[in-house]
C-alpha cells in the first residue's frame, strides 16, 4: 500500500514526454511516459493511474480514442487532453467525450499543476458524493436490510474498482454472506479469513491473496461489537490506497447502521407483539364463552323457524350462525397466536405434512380451474418438528396462495433439502394477484387483511410457528405476477 500517485503521459513527441515526465515527478508522481498508445493501454491493464495526460493528435490512435479505451479499463480516470492547436472546438469535443479538461502546448507553468490538482480533487469528491448518494437514498427509501447491504456492496465495488465485494454477517456464531456485488467469488475461504481477521482487530486490514490480488476487509461495528465485515477483493493492477481504506470504513459504517437498525426494529416488534398478544389473548378468552352460547342459540332459533315453516327467517338465523362461526374462528386464531403452545417435537416427514395440508386446503377451497403442482425432494430427512403447529402454518400459506389465484392459475408447492446448512426448505408459490409494497409491508400485521372474509391472522401465525422452530419465512411478491413464500426450517434431530 503506497500513497504515491501515478500519472500516465502519452505523446508522440519525445521532447514533450521528457519535459512532462520531469515536471510530474517533481510534483511527486510516479510517471509512466510513452509515445505508444498500445503500451499505454497495457500499462493501464497492469496498474491503476490517478491521472492521464494524452496528446490529442497521435497516430494510429488519437488522444480521444485512447481516452475512451482507457476509460473502458478505468471508468473514472481523469484525463487531460493536450493540444498544440487548441481551439475551443477540439476542447469542447474532448470534454464532451469524457476528458476532465485540456491543456494547450506550450504549457503555462502553473496551469499544469493547477489542472492536475483540480482533476485529482474533483475525482475524489465526485466519486464519494455519487456513492454516498446511492447509499443514502437506499437507506432512506427502504428499511430492508438486504437491499441496503446490496447497495453498500455495489457502491464499494464501484468506488474502489474492486473485482468483488462481499458483506458478511455473523449469525449464530458463523459468518454468512449477506450481500455481494461484482463478479462472483471463485472461493470464499480467503474472503472469510480476511473478514474474521478484521473483526478480531476491529479495524480495516489488507492482505495479499492468490495471483497478486489484494483483499481488504473492514469490520462492521454495531453496539454489541463486530457484527460482520465488508470485504473487497481487488485485481493485481489495483493497489488499494489510503483513500480506499477510508472509503471502505465509511461503507462498512453504513452497513453497520443498516444491521443495527434492523436488529432494533426486530427487538421492538417482538416486544410490541408480545404485549399485543397478551392483551388479545385476554380479550379472546373473555369472548369465547359468550360466543359459544350465541352460536347455540342461533342454531336453536334456525331449527325452530325452519320447523314453523318460516323459511326466510330461518335463513336469517342461519346467517347469524355463520357470522358467529367466523367470529369464533377469529377468536380461536387470536388465542393460538397470543399464547403459542410449547413446541412438541416428534420426527416428521415434511413432504407428507405438506401434502396433507394441500389436501386440506383443497377440501376447504374446492377449485377446478387451477393447477396444483408439487415437487418433493426425496433427500429431505425426517426431522423433529411440531407437526400440529406447522400444519397451521403451511395450511395458511397454501390457502393464501389458492385465494390469490385467478382462473387457470397455478400453485406450486415444493420441498427441498440443503445438506450444507441442514435446512429443510418449503416453498409455496402462486402466479396470482401478488402484493404491492404496502400490502407486502403489512402482510404480517395482526388483523391486516385485504379480503372481505379474512381475519388477517394467517401470515402472522405462519411466521410465528416457523420462527419458534428456529426457522425463517420470507416473502417475495410482485403485483399481478404472483407470490413466493419460502420457509426455511433447521432440521433438528435429522439423521
Ligand atoms: N399468496 C398471496 N398472494 C397475494 N396476497 C397475499 C398472499 N398471501 C397473503 N397476502 C396478503 O396478505 C394479507 C394477509 O394475509 P393473512 O393470511 O394474514 O390474512 P388473510 O388471508 O387476509 O386472512 P386469513 O386470516 O383468513 O388468512 C392478505 O389479506 C393478502 O392481502
Ligand atoms: Mg390467509
The predicted-structure confidence for 268-281, as pLDDT tens digits, reads as follows 766 666 666 667 77
**What count of other Cβ atoms lies within 10 Å of the Cβ of residue 392?**
19
Cα 289 to ligand 2 centre (Å): 25
Residue 75 predicted with pLDDT over 70? yes
Residue 454 predicted with pLDDT over 60? yes
Residue (of 46, 48, 40, 47) closest to 17 by Cα position: 40
**Residue ranges around ligand 1 (CB below 6 Å):** 396, 400-401, 404, 430, 432-435, 439, 443, 448-451, 454-460, 483
The answer to whether the CB of 106 falls within 8 A of the CB of 61 is no
Residue nearest to atom 19 of ligand 1 (CA): 456
Give CA–CA dist 216/213, Å, rounded. Answer: 10
Q: Average pLDDT of 354-379? A: 91
Confidence of residue 130 (pLDDT cuts 50, 70, 90): low
Residue nearest to atom 22 of ligand 1 (CA): 449
The answer to whether the CB of 175 falls within 8 A of the CB of 168 is yes
Burial-class residue 189 by CB neighbours within 10 Å (0-12, 13-18, 19+).
exposed
User: Please, what sign has the CA dihedral across residues 316, 317, 320, 325?
Assistant: negative
Confidence of residue 52 (pLDDT cuts 50, 70, 90): very high
Confidence of residue 1 (pLDDT cuts 50, 70, 90): very low
Question: Rg of the Cα trace of the chain?
Answer: 32
Residue 431 predicted with pLDDT over 70? yes
Task: Indicate the CATH number of 139-259 among 3.40.50.300, 3.30.450.40, 3.20.20.70, 3.40.50.620.
Answer: 3.30.450.40
Confidence of residue 491 (pLDDT cuts 50, 70, 90): very high
The pTM is what?
Answer: 0.47
Confidence of residue 2 (pLDDT cuts 50, 70, 90): very low
Cα 158 to ligand 2 centre (Å): 43
Taking a 5 Å cut-off on Cβ, the residues next to ion ligand 2 are 400, 458
Residue nearest to atom 29 of ligand 1 (CA): 449
Q: Give the HSE-up count for residue 232: Cα atoms under 13 Å, Cβ half-sphere.
A: 30
Q: Average pLDDT of 440-447? A: 85
Residue 132 predicted with pLDDT over 60? no
pLDDT digits (tens, 9 = 90+) for 244-299: 677 777 777 777 777 777 777 666 766 666 666 667 777 777 788 888 888 888 88
Residue nearest to atom 11 of ligand 1 (CA): 443
The answer to whether the CB of 424 falls within 8 A of the CB of 395 is no
The answer to whether the CB of 281 falls within 8 A of the CB of 339 is yes
pLDDT digits (tens, 9 = 90+) for 220-231: 877 667 788 888
Average model confidence (pLDDT) across the chain: 84
What are residue 215's DSSP bridge partners? 207, 233
Q: Is there a shared CATH topology between the 5-129 domain and the 346-490 domain?
A: no
**What count of other Cβ atoms lies within 10 Å of the Cβ of residue 407?**
8
Give CA–CA dist 55/32, Å, rounded. Answer: 14
Cα 220 to ligand 2 centre (Å): 38
Cα 353 to ligand 1 centre (Å): 21
Ligand (nearest to CA of 412): 1
Ligand (nearest to CA of 456): 1
Residue nearest to atom 17 of ligand 1 (CA): 458
Q: Average pLDDT of 100-124? A: 78
Q: Using most ligand atoms within 8 A of CB, pick from 332, 451, 460, 473 the residue to mutate for ligand 1.
A: 451
Give CA–CA dist 302/18, Å, rounded. Answer: 106
Pairing relationship of beta strands 214-222 and 383-385 according to DSSP bridges? unpaired
| CATH class of the structural domain 5-129 | alpha beta
Residue 128 predicted with pLDDT over 50? yes
Element spanning 405, H or E: none
Residue 138 predicted with pLDDT over 80? no
- Is the N-terminal amide bond of 60 cis, ω within 30° of 0? yes
**What is the model's pLDDT at position 56?**
86
**What is the model's pLDDT at position 110?**
80
Q: Average pLDDT of 62-69? A: 91
Which one is predicted more confidently, 97 or 6?
6
Cα 451 to ligand 2 centre (Å): 9
The answer to whether the CB of 414 falls within 8 A of the CB of 379 is no
| The three cell numbers locating residue 192 | 472469510
Domain ranges of the chain: 5-129, 139-259, 267-338, 346-490
Residue (of 94, 46, 39) closest to 74 by Cα position: 46
Q: Average pLDDT of 457-462? A: 89
Q: Would you tell me the crossing angle of helices 242-307 and 109-141 to the nearest 10 degrees? A: 20
Residue 97 predicted with pLDDT over 60? yes
- Report the range of poorest mean pLDDT among 102-106, 317-321, 426-430: 102-106
Cα 454 to ligand 1 centre (Å): 8
**What is the model's pLDDT at position 274?**
65
Q: Average pLDDT of 317-344? A: 79
Cα 458 to ligand 1 centre (Å): 7
**What count of other Cβ atoms lies within 10 Å of the Cβ of residue 223?**
9
Q: Any idea which residue has 413466493 for its cell?
A: 484
Q: Which CATH architecture has domain 346-490?
A: 2-Layer Sandwich (3.30)
Q: Using most ligand atoms within 8 A of CB, pick from 440, 449, 462 the residue to mutate for ligand 1.
A: 449
What are residue 33's DSSP bridge partners? 9
Amino acid at each position: 500500500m503506497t500513497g504515491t500517485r501515478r500519472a500516465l503521459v502519452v505523446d508522440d513527441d519525445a521532447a514533450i514526454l521528457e519535459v512532462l515526465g520531469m515536471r510530474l515527478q517533481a510534483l511527486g508522481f510516479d510517471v509512466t511516459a510513452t509515445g505508444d498508445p498500445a503500451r499505454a493501454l497495457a500499462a493501464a491493464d497492469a496498474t491503476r493511474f490517478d491521472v492521464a495526460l494524452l496528446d490529442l493528435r497521435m497516430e494510429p490512435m488519437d488522444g480521444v480514442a485512447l481516452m475512451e479505451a482507457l476509460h473502458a479499463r478505468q471508468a473514472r480516470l481523469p484525463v487531460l487532453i493536450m493540444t498544440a492547436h487548441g481551439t475551443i472546438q477540439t476542447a469542447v469535443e474532448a470534454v464532451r467525450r469524457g476528458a476532465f479538461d485540456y491543456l494547450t502546448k506550450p504549457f503555462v507553468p502553473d496551469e499544469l499543476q493547477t489542472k492536475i490538482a483540480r482533476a485529482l480533487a474533483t475525482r475524489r469528491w465526485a466519486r464519494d458524493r455519487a456513492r454516498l448518494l446511492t447509499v443514502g437514498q437506499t437507506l432512506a427509501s427502504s428499511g430492508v436490510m438486504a437491499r441496503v447491504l446490496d447497495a453498500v456492496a455495489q457502491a464499494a465495488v464501484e468506488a474502489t474498482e474492486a473485482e468483488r465485494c462481499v458483506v458478511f454477517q455473523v449469525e449464530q456464531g458463523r459468518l454468512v454472506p449477506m450481500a455481494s456485488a461484482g463478479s462472483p467469488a471463485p472461493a470464499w475461504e480467503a474472503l472469510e479469513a480476511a473478514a474474521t481477521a478484521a473483526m478480531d482487530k476491529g479495524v480495516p486490514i489488507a492482505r495479499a491473496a492468490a495471483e497478486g490480488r489484494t483483499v481488504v476487509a473492514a469490520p462492521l461495528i454495531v453496539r454489541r461489537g463486530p457484527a460482520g465485515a465488508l470485504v473487497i477483493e481487488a485485481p493485481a493492477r489495483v493497489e488499494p490506497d489510503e483513500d480506499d481504506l477510508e472509503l471502505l470504513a465509511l461503507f462498512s459504517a453504513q452497513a453497520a447502521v443498516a444491521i443495527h437498525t434492523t436488529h432494533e426494529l426486530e427487538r421492538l416488534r417482538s416486544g410490541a407483539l408480545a404485549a399485543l398478544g397478551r392483551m388479545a389473548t385476554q380479550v379472546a378468552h373473555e369472548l369465547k364463552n359468550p360466543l359459544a352460547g350465541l352460536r347455540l342459540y342461533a342454531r336453536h332459533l334456525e331449527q325452530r323457524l325452519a320447523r314453523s315453516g318460516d323459511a326466510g327467517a330461518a335463513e336469517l338465523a342461519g346467517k347469524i350462525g355463520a357470522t358467529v362461526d367466523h367470529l369464533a374462528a377469529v377468536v380461536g386464531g387470536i388465542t393460538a397466536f397470543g399464547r403459542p403452545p410449547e413446541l412438541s417435537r416428534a420426527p416428521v416427514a415434511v413432504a407428507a405434512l405438506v401434502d396433507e395440508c394441500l389436501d386440506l386446503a383443497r377440501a376447504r377451497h374446492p377449485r377446478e380451474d387451477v393447477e396444483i403442482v408439487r415437487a418433493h425432494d426425496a433427500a429431505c430427512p425426517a426431522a423433529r418438528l411440531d407437526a400440529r403447529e406447522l400444519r397451521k402454518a403451511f395450511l395458511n400459506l397454501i390457502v393464501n396462495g389458492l385465494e390469490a389465484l385467478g382462473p387457470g392459475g397455478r400453485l406450486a408447492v415444493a420441498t427441498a433439502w440443503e445438506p450444507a446448512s441442514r435446512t429443510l426448505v418449503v416453498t409455496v408459490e402462486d402466479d396470482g394477484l401478488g402484493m404491492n409494497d404496502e400490502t407486502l409491508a403489512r402482510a404480517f400485521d395482526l388483523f391486516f387483511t385485504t379480503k372481505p372474509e379474512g381475519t388477517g391472522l394467517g401470515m402472522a401465525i405462519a411466521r410465528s410457528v416457523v420462527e419458534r422452530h428456529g426457522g425463517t419465512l420470507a416473502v417475495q411478491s410482485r403485483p399481478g405476477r404472483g407470490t413466493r413464500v419460502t420457509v426455511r426450517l433447521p432440521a433438528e434431530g435429522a439423521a
